Amino acid sequence: MNFNFYEAKRYKLFILIPIALLLISLVFIPHIRYDSSLAGGITVQFSTTNAITTRGLTSSMASVIPGATASVSRVGAVYTASVTIPENSSIVDANDKLLALYSDYNAYSSAELNLVSASTGLKSDPSNSTLKSELASAQANVTASLSKMSTDLGAELALLSPFISANSSAYSYNSSNAAGMLAVGKDAYSASSSAYKSKVISGMRLVVPFTSYSYEEVTPTLGAFFLNHMIQIIIASFVIIAIAVFAVFRIPIPSLAVVFGAGNDILIALGAMGAFGIPMGLASVGGLLMLIGYSIDTEMLSSIRILKRSEDTVTHRAFSTMKTGTTMTAAAIISFATLFIIAYVFYIPTYIEIAGVALFGLIGDIFTTWFGNTVMIVWYKSSREPK
């Protein structure tokens, strides 16, 4: 006969288990690293008939281009490689200066428009003190904007000098010409990006010869955009889930218990990513959203059976539900563990991220659901049953 530990009624002790996992996860979450889709970086894909392996190519590429990682797939005699490298720090900083240059130009355009407006007004009303003040302010803003543009452009060109030094005379500029300075900044950045691309491709060809390739770049600014939207999506999913759960139970404590369970699973998965070096990327976001859905499924299963049904005792219903739920979760864990092992052996980063998030999240779900959420529901239901 199976031992029903819910009958021991050591609710506070059981709840400490998922809370302890939560606290441990919080220690490792700050150590999560972002992949190129969020942190920014360059991905080059190419095909070759040369025999290559993932680990061998990663090692060779890293010796030529520091920080490079690679993955390899094979179809027949053709090997397809995907190499990811971090952005060049000078080009990243120069991109920030170029963005600042755009902002400076917008400020200049606005100030110039105000200057023209005030000048036109003074022609018809020369003694208007307000227009005179606006004219003086606009002139000062135009001068300040030009000065700021010149400073930012100079800083950008200094950062890009390793890539454009051979043709530096082409990037001279007039500090009183805003449109000209913006054009120089754009041209210098474009030329430097092309030069860096050529350097990267040449370095890769020293390791493995190839002809055709694809070159994709994600800037840190775009990566930050993706990260912000990822956070918004996860928060929105939690809000929608909380509303749906409350609509089902219409009781605060069971609803909060279900939402706590889903949130705890996500935090445990994030902690495991930080502890085991699984990178955070767009692929792992899909794994997190999938995990939210699975967590809610198991917690709703236990909560509904305990609260809505009346056969046997509360603890018996909880234990029976646990046996069903753990069987479901175990099957999912085996599936994702298999996918994780295969992805790790053949080094398929996308599958490593998805399977790693789901695998560790499901392991955490066992403790969160059956020692956290279910215990809270049993405790709540038992306290309201007649003695």
pLDDT in tens for each of the 387 residues of the chain? 467 777 877 878 888 989 999 999 999 998 888 777 677 788 888 888 888 888 888 888 888 888 888 878 777 788 888 888 888 888 888 988 999 999 999 999 999 998 888 888 888 888 888 888 888 898 999 999 999 999 999 999 999 998 888 777 788 888 889 999 999 999 999 999 999 999 899 989 988 988 888 888 877 666 777 778 878 887 887 788 778 878 877 778 778 888 888 888 889 999 998 888 888 877 888 888 888 888 888 888 888 888 777 777 888 888 888 888 888 889 999 999 998 888 877 767 778 888 889 999 999 999 998 888 888 888 888 777 655
For residue range 179-214, list pLDDT tens digits in order: 999 999 999 999 999 999 998 999 899 889 888 888
CATH 1.20.1640.10 segments of the chain: 5-36+219-383
| 114 CB-near residues (< 8 Å, 6+ apart) | 134, 137, 138, 141
CATH topology of domain 5-36+219-383: Multidrug efflux transporter AcrB transmembrane fold (1.20.1640)
- Cβ atoms of 282 and 231 closer than 8 Å: no
Which residue's entry shows tokens 């509360």? Answer: 314
Residue 335, C-beta contacts closer than 8 angstroms, at least 6 positions apart: none
| Structure tokens, 297 | 């499924």
Contact 173, 185 (CB under 8 A): no
Name, in order, each residue with C-beta under 8 angstroms of 11's C-beta and a sequence gap of 6 or more: 375, 376, 378, 379
Cβ count within 10 A of residue 63: 12
What pLDDT, on a 0 to 100 scale, did the predictor assign at position 347?
66
Between the alpha carbon of residue 130 and those of residues 113, 137, 387, the distances in Å are: 16, 11, 82
pLDDT at 130: 84
Where do we find the tokens 């000209």? 180
CA-closest candidate to residue 371, choices 327, 322, 323, 311: 322
